[in-house]
Structure 1
Amino acid sequence: MILPALLTSAGFNIVICVGFMSLYSILRKQPINLKVYFGQRLAQLQPGQKNHYFFDRLIPSAGWLVKAWEATDDDIYTCGGLDGLVFIRMIVFCIRIFSVAAVLCIFIVLPVNLFGQGVEQRTPESQMDIFTIANVQEGSTGLWAHFFALYMISICAYALLYIEFKNVARMRLEQVIRYPTKPSHFTVLVRGIPWAEGESYSEAVKKHFSDYYNSSYLAHQMVYRSGAVQRLMMETEKMYKVLTETPINEYVQPITQPITVGCSHIGGIPVPFKTPEGSTKKRKHDDKQDMKDQEVAAAFVFFRTRYAAMVASHSIQSKDPMLWVIDFAPEPHDVFWANLCVPHRLLWIRKTLVFIGSILFSLWFLLPTTLVQGLVNIEKLENMFPVLRGISETQYANIISGYLPSLVLMCFVLLVPPVMMMFATLEGAVSRSGRKKSACCKAIIFFFWNIFFYNLFTGTWWDRMSKLTVTGLKDMATLLGNLIPGQAPFFMTYIMTSGWASLAYELMQPFVLIVNWIFQVILMRKEGFGDLYTFPYHTEVPRVLLFSLLGFTFSILAPLILPFLLVYYFFAYFVYRNQMLNVYITRYNTNGSYWPVAHNAAIFGLIVMQSVASIIFGMKNFGTGSSLAFILIIFTSLFNLYCRHKFLPLFSNKAAQDLIEMDRHDEHSGKLEEILSRLLSSYNKFGPRSGNHPNDLLSAEYKVTGSKDSETSRKR
């Protein structure tokens, strides 16, 4: 890529960002857009509370930047939860490490690259090579500058990663203590319940936990299938709400025949209806048989203490690991009810099919990636296809080779998060936060391979397809070592188009904005449209981590990429803080589980950086630096193992010490009975037809036997 093409791309993206930011600062002040840009704020208001906004409505301003800067970590935690705070810390980590890299590489490494004499023939295509390590001659003493920067960046990364891992692990432990009455602390999700002839799943669950957890078992709640009948019942519930809110006494004649008031449970909500007295017993028998037929091999099991729930969730219940599979239950509002009906024995088949589907999707994505690299190397494209000759000489050549490739790639990348979310759903995730995290991990792997590695390989192929024949691993290493620095300009344009422009798009929320206008202007609905979304971690986390991989890889090879990265991360710091404070509503989170993903991505970026440096140092006849860079790879791997052994268990388990102390405190203070009484109805009203039907039987069981058992257990 030539320098004018890079400058053209930069100009386009700067104009887009400035224009969108100015337009956003005006649109956010308009009362019609409050639900679009202040969904989080509106959700925190009380039902009768009024909010007034006084703005200079038609003048662009930067007030939102000041408010995002002044917000504290506690404010971010209150609005975005621990996941939101962890995501901001990812961005802060990238700002810190790449600020260090920018100081080292721009003031020490870049002058060495500029004054090198490695590029003998200065052609338009090699204009950017003088800023990279490709311009350093073999055996030059200037390579010590690159080696020094490599070691300093690695050491700073180790220190920052260790500190952040430790802090996030501490916050995760504090999260358990901060919310002591969460239902998930006392509840486990049981799947793979074995089927016994003449016995329902509910009876099997009660028998199993009464036998093996008699002193700690409280009650259970079955999961039921949802289908056409369930949808009909939900519609009936809506009709009932409408009827109860409408005064109909003057229109309905009083009923004179004797009746009995009954109760039907729809999604855990009691709906009164009236039936003849003679049919009450028959209806109860039919409801019981219907519930038995609709049961699935999954249930929520409640325990009297947090410690008992933890012991059950970490124990193998039978000799067959596919039966009685127990995990901590998600929070009630986090449960993904549709996947609870999937038999546990079929999950491995689903995961296999998803793995095959991911491979096929990756193979399909090679087509647009190859097309993008063809647009970057427009001269090579003209030589292969004579019909296209003359395009490079037009006045639009800089736009085609500078801005268009990254724009085309970004458009195709927009398909990735929804596809990965679909794959995560098909895998059988039982929680919404787990589904989003699974989609995030899949998108990261996809981005690292298809956007980073494959663009390197295809760019290499386009550049040297007729000049170098690869005959072995040594030739491949030589090829990559020579041509990886040359791909830096393309990734600079990608950072601007997919990074800068996407942040402007995130601020504007154009889709939600247009739909909100349709609701209020055309459909005349005063409530508008908005405040419906949680933060898109599966979209934003992969982008942030992909750019960190680019920063690590090219920091000492092509230092000019670092200013583009720092602009993105500083801009992202303000944008995402503003969105968490004002826009997105937090309904569920993973309690900081995204940080191990970010840590692994950073370690991977360090290893790639050190591996590429070792290869290039060897090619430049700098054997000492090549050997020491290889030793650095080993040290990075050992550092990663140390962090995983020290901190990672805190992300998959709860501390037994904290749980036992919380149980003792609740028992001594008399709060335990109150917590357990609320626990029984916690998983009723959130899902489609969840809960033991009827619910009053479960409550009655606790009132009759639960108090007696708890008193007995205290005596023990």
Structure 2
Amino acid sequence: MATLNDIAVGAAINILSAFAFFIAFAILRIQPVNDRVYFPKWYLKGLRFSPLRGGAFINKFVNLDFRSYVRFLNWMPAALQMPEPELIDHAGLDSAVYLRIYLTGLKIFTPIAFLSFAIMAPVNWTNDTLKGSNLTYSDVDKLSISNIPIGSRRFWTHLVMAYAFTFWTCYILKKEYEKVASMRLHFLASEHRQPDQFTVLVRNVPPDPDESVSENVEHFFLVNHPDHYLTHQVVYNANKLSHLVNEKKKTQNWLDFYQLRFSRNESKRSMVKTGFLGLFGNRMDAIDFYTSEIERLSKEISFERDRISKNPKSVVPAAFVSFKTRWGAAVCAQTQQMRNPTIWLTERAPEPRDIYWDNLSIPYVSLAIRRLISGVAFFFLTFFFMIPIAFVQSLANIEGIEKAVPFLKPIIELNFMKYVIQGFLPGIALKIFLIFLPSILMLMSKFEGFNSISALERRSATRYYIFQFINVFLGSIITGTAFQQLDTFIHQSANKIPETIGVSIPMKATFFITYTMVDGWAGVAGEILRLKPLIIYHFKNFFLVKTEKDREEAMDPGSLGFNTGEPQIQLYFLLGLVYAVVTPVLLPFIIVFFALAYVVYRHQIINVYNQEYESAAAFWPDVHRRIITALVVSQLLLMGLLSTKEATQSTPLLITLPVLTIWFHFFCKGRYEPAFVTYPLQLFLLFVSSSAGSQEAMMKDTLERAREPNLNLKGFLQNAYVHPVFKGEDDSDSDAATEDLKEEPAIVPTKRQSRRNTPLPSKQSGPLNPLLPEVDHDY
């Protein structure tokens, strides 16, 4: 168990590490040679140019202005100066709202920490309960609720504070939900014309013996949406082609590498082995080998493109259908198209850069099975990860380490080593064990078949949060308590074990303090250094870059990584809300994390990250829901803790607290969530009657037609949802392939001749109104 000295040593190590990262960043960022690593967003926007183009030779690589080294922390105020509206325009609403999660944490925990240390800390400290017990504890634990005797009237203080903290948290959550909803509505109302505003994704198109998928889709929408349908793009199974294109790109990089090496030393030609991973097979000239590989891949790509464009089996039963108006797309996306609810499924189309193309070819009927398999796999992953969690908790127990490795006992017994082991090692060990988890969870999400990157990230974030809650939070508490109080468990009666656990849970705050310092302090500071992208950029720049375009592709701006960042933030919300009443000493460490992360990530969003997509803050309901979950968990744990303390008078009054919190959640859900789940054109349905809302929903279309009467909307939407491999720039025949895919006429003659004026229902499209029973018509 970490003592006050252990925490002090851990804090010193992490503060020095964070300061070292900031110093290194301050020096590296002002070097001209690193400009594209630390300011890639401005290069991608075309607002910044390379400092390597002119000036003295040494000035191209090293900054000789010594005054800039003195102002090494000026990036912090610079990161805070950009106003939020300008930030939204610069980086998008997703990035701006993501930063508001950190601000929400500061708004919630700063007043809570003040009250906790002003009221709770003296109440807990002025007791001697732990001193008279046989439990293992440290001086830090005297600030926890564990130091209050059983049945004490002081528990009324904790009850009142629980109500105060809950009401304050709910107040902030409501204000933030209202603010973010307003920002989303304003952003969507002022957003420029985008393809996804006019387009829906149609899945599970039923087969028709008389028509191809393309003909079937066109005929269905001419029949059922004759006044609004504009065009469509069927979805091709181009996964193999995509794999070939990526393989060719990697091969081209190797060819560029060996050609650049040869140009620098023409007296020596590089040789490679042509077998598995370049370790086996015959030796061959590297340039000749990769040139032949590119020729082979080019032929395969051309053949595969030709096969896809001519083989009907390459078309999957899905399509992107575009409409003349946003209103028409909104109606289609939110209505059931057929009496059979399993076919002609429509949803709002993701924006083109948000689509995860590989999953569009997955049969719709297999999605439920895939999600069941993924859920079972996630259960076993969560269950078996308790093993490394138990190992991490064993590191926090000096006696356990000495028993496991007795030959290290003389070293472990040194005071400094004790401080390092208990104040730093558990946190860094847990961080290491969690490194590969986000990648595993993202693979599971891809296996489930979600069709957009945003959906993949939100699904992965949900599972990461569940994993953190079960393993990192509950697992650390349970296993840590078992290790620390093992001797007490053995030598006491079974009916005393719940009481011992209740006393021990608040004392686990010391472990979470060490983890917060490693992950929330040093980890966040390490993020700004961008060591991995720095190394990769200079490697590519030295070995692969030939042109300015190559240099731009060598940049790796990255993105926020919602699937990893948001669940990690939620862990700190959980820890702060749970320990605010029982062990307030944890709160200052969490506040430092929120403040530091806000500054660092604001800088990264302004200068570095380039978001892959824009969801207009659609993730905020998830953020709100998880904070509410943390609040309810804190209340239930406090209720259980007080029951073990035999606070019979105050404990029953806690029962209403989770009930009120859940009611508040449903109130916010009904009041604000529709703005995040309905189609953007129905913004005003949240505030006004449905008839007035329909008029407002069409307002943007009306204004656009008035401003641009000659707008060629079909031309704007024609290629928006063509698979990227058909419009890549790497292959000379890509334009021709795209034209082949567009050669299908707008109206294809079939046996039933789909015509705009007299649409005849097909076997699959059903009657003119698919939700009404069929009746006979006299034409």
* Partner residue in 2 for 1:249: none
Q: Secondary structure of 2:424's match?
A: helix
Of 430, 433, 437, the residue aligned with 2:454 is: 433
Q: What displacement does 1:643 show? A: 0.8
In the TM superposition, what is the alpha-carbon distance from 1:196 to its structure 2 partner?
2.3
What is the aligned residue count?
665
CA pair 185-480 structure 1, distance change in 2 beyond 3 A: farther
In the TM superposition, 1:603-682 aligns within 5 A as 603-654=628-679, 655-656=681-682, 657=693, 658-671=696-709, 673-682=711-720
Q: Deviation string for 1:172-197 (max 9, x for gaps)?
A: 22222112511111101111111223
Question: Which residue is equivalent to 1:694?
Answer: 740
Once the two structures are TM-superposed, the CA of residue 143 in structure 1 deviates from its matched residue by: 2.8
TM, length-normalised to structure 1: 0.85
Which is worse superposed, 630-639 or 380-389? 380-389
Q: CA deviation at 1:377?
A: 1.6
2: CA distance, partners of 1:17 / 1:238: 36
- 1:315 alignment counterpart: 335
Identity of aligned residues (%): 28
Report the equivalent of 1:597: 622
User: Following the alignment from structure 1 to structure 2, what is the Cα–Cα distance between the partners of residues 233 and 481?
Assistant: 59
Q: Is the 8 A contact 1:680 1:699 kept in 2?
A: no
Mean alpha-carbon deviation: is it higher for 355-364 or for 462-471?
462-471
* 2:232–2:322 Cα contact (<8 Å) kept: yes
**Counterpart-to-counterpart distance in 1, 2:232 and 2:472:** 47
2:78 alignment partner AA: K
The offset of 1:317, in angstroms, is 2.3
**Could you tell me how far 1:10 is from its partner in structure 2?**
1.0
Distance in 2 separating the partners of 1:287 and 1:371: 54
The answer to whether the Cα contact below 8 Å between 1:106 and 1:559 also exists between their aligned partners in 2 is yes
Inter-partner Cα distance in structure 1 for 2:607 and 2:52: 14
1:91-142 deviation digits (Å, cap 9, x = unpaired): 0010011001111001111111111122134887433221111111234343
Deviation of the 1:233 alpha carbon: 7.7
What is the aligned partner in structure 1 of residue 393 from structure 2?
373
Could you say what the CA RMSD is over the residues aligned between the two structures, in angstroms?
3.4
Q: Secondary structure at the match of 1:484?
A: helix
Work out whether residues 726 and 738 of structure 2, in 8 Å CA contact, stay in contact via their aligned partners in 1.
no
Of the candidates 76, 80, 83, which is equivalent to residue 91 of structure 2? 80
The secondary structure found in structure 2 opposite 1:414 is coil
Note if 1:588 corresponds to 2:606: no
Which residue matches 1:554?
579
Alpha carbons of structure 1 residues 447 and 124: separation in structure 2 relative to 1, 3 Å: closer
Structure 2 residue 224 is matched with structure 1 residue 186: no
Tell whether the 8 Å contact from 2:6 to 2:422 is kept in structure 1 after alignment: yes
Matches within 5 A, 1:349-388: 349-382=369-402
Q: Report the CA distance between 1:300 and its aligned residue.
A: 0.5
Question: Within the alignment, does 1:13 sit opposite 2:52 as a pair?
Answer: no
- In 1, the alpha carbon distance for the partners of 2:726 and 2:249 equals 12
Whole-angstrom CA distance in 1 between matches of 2:504 and 2:559: 41
Q: Displacement, 1:538?
A: 1.4
Deviation digits for residues 425-477 of structure 1 (CA, Å, limit 9, x no counterpart) = 11112112221222222211111111001111111221333433899998775
Partner residue of 1:173 out of 178, 185, 193: 185
Measured after TM superposition, the shift of residue 503 of structure 1 is 0.7
Equivalents in 2 of 1:154, 1:234: separation in Å? 52
* Alignment partner of 1:481 out of 498, 502, 522: 502
Which one is further off, 541-550 or 689-698? 689-698
Aligned to 2:476: 455
1:235-273 CA distance string (max 9 Å, x none): 99999xxxxxxxxxxxxxxxxxxxxxxxxxxxxxxx9xx
Query: 2-side partners of 1:360 and 1:671: how far apart?
Result: 59
Name the residue aligned to 1:61.
Answer: 72
Q: Is the 8 A contact 2:87 2:606 kept in 1?
A: yes
CA distance in 1, matches of 2:250, 2:517: 48
**3-state SS in 2 of match to 1:221:** strand
Q: Tell me by how many angstroms 1:707 deviates.
A: 14
How far residue 384 of structure 1 moved from its aligned partner, in angstroms, is 7.4
- Separation in 2 of the partners of 1:338 and 1:389? 54
The answer on 1:515 being equivalent to 2:536 is yes
| TM, length-normalised to structure 2 | 0.79
Contact 1:552 1:606 in 2 (8 A): yes
Q: Residue 389 and residue 191 in structure 1: after superposition, are their counterparts in 2 closer, same or farther (change >3 A)?
A: same
**Is 1:569 aligned to residue 570 of structure 2?**
no
1:399 maps to which residue? 420
1:337, 1:687 within 8 Å by CA — same for their partners in 2?
Answer: no
CA displacement at 1:573 relative to structure 2: 1.1
In structure 1, the residue matched to 2:147 is 135
Question: How many Å apart are 1:89 and its aligned residue?
Answer: 0.8
Q: Does residue 158 of structure 1 match 2:196? A: no
Contact 1:133 1:558 in 2 (8 A): yes
Measure how far apart 1:16 and its partner are: 0.2
- Is the counterpart of residue 118 in structure 1 residue 108 in structure 2? no
Cα distance in 1 between the residues matched to 2:581 and 2:309? 70
1:493–1:200 Cα change, 3 Å? same
SS in 1 for 2:649: helix
Residue 223 (structure 2) aligns with: 211
Bigger drift between 53-62 and 487-496 goes to 53-62
Question: Which structure 1 residue ranges, 5 or more long, are not aligned?
Answer: 240-270, 272-282, 710-716
Paired letter, 1:345: V
Shift of 1:497: 0.5
Look up the SS of the partner of 2:698 in the other structure: helix
- Equivalent-residue separation in structure 2 for 1:59 and 1:432 (angstroms): 42
Distance in 2 (CA, whole Å) between partners of 1:471 and 1:699 is 83
Change in 2 beyond 3 A, CA 1:463/1:231: closer
Match in the other structure for 1:279: none
Do the aligned partners of 1:692 and 1:698 also contact (CA within 8 Å) in 2? no
Q: Which amino acid aligns with 1:353?
A: I
Q: Secondary structure at the match of 2:583?
A: coil
SS at 2:587's partner residue?
A: helix
Are 2:352 and 1:332 aligned? yes
What is the match of residue 102 of structure 2?
A: 91
Query: Which stretch shows the higher mean deviation, 186-195 or 387-396?
Result: 387-396
1:500-541 alpha-carbon deviations (Å, 9 max, x no partner): 111111110110111122233455657273244222121211
Q: Give the Å deviation of 1:60.
A: 5.9
8 Å CA contact 2:37–2:557 kept in 1: the answer is no
Contact 1:481 1:612 in 2 (8 A): no
Stretch moving more, 673-682 or 98-107: 673-682
Is 2:4–2:138's contact at 8 Å kept on the other side of the alignment?
no
**How has the CA–CA distance of structure 1 residues 293 and 457 changed in structure 2, closer, same or farther, with 3 Å as cutoff?**
same
Displacement of 1:663 after TM fit? 2.2
Deviates more, 1:349-358 or 1:684-693: 684-693
Change (3 A) 1:518 1:620: same
C-alpha spacing 1:437/1:473, structure 2 compared with 1 (3 Å)? farther
Q: Which residue of 2 aligns with 1:536?
A: 561
CA 1:232–1:416 in 2, change beyond 3 Å: closer, same or farther? Answer: closer
TM-superposed deviation, 1:210: 1.5
TM-fit CA distance, 1:692: 8.0
- The code of the aligned residue for 2:107 comes to R
* Cα drift, residue 572 of structure 1: 0.7
Cα distance between partner residues in 2 of 1:634 and 1:373: 34
Distance 1:205 1:103, change over 3 A: same
- CA positional deviation for 1:293: 3.2
- The SS at the match of 1:555 is helix
**Whole-Å Cα distance in 2 between the matches of residues 640 and 649 of structure 1?**
14
Which stretches in structure 2 are left out of the alignment for 5+ residues? Answer: 54-62, 252-297, 683-692, 729-736, 758-779
Which residue matches 1:32? 33
Q: 1:467 to 1:683 in 2, by over 3 A?
A: same
Partner Cα distance (2:430, 2:450) in 1 = 30
Q: CA deviation at 1:574?
A: 0.4
1:604-657 Cα offsets, whole Å, 9 max, x none, are 111122122222333334333212222111110111111111111221103533
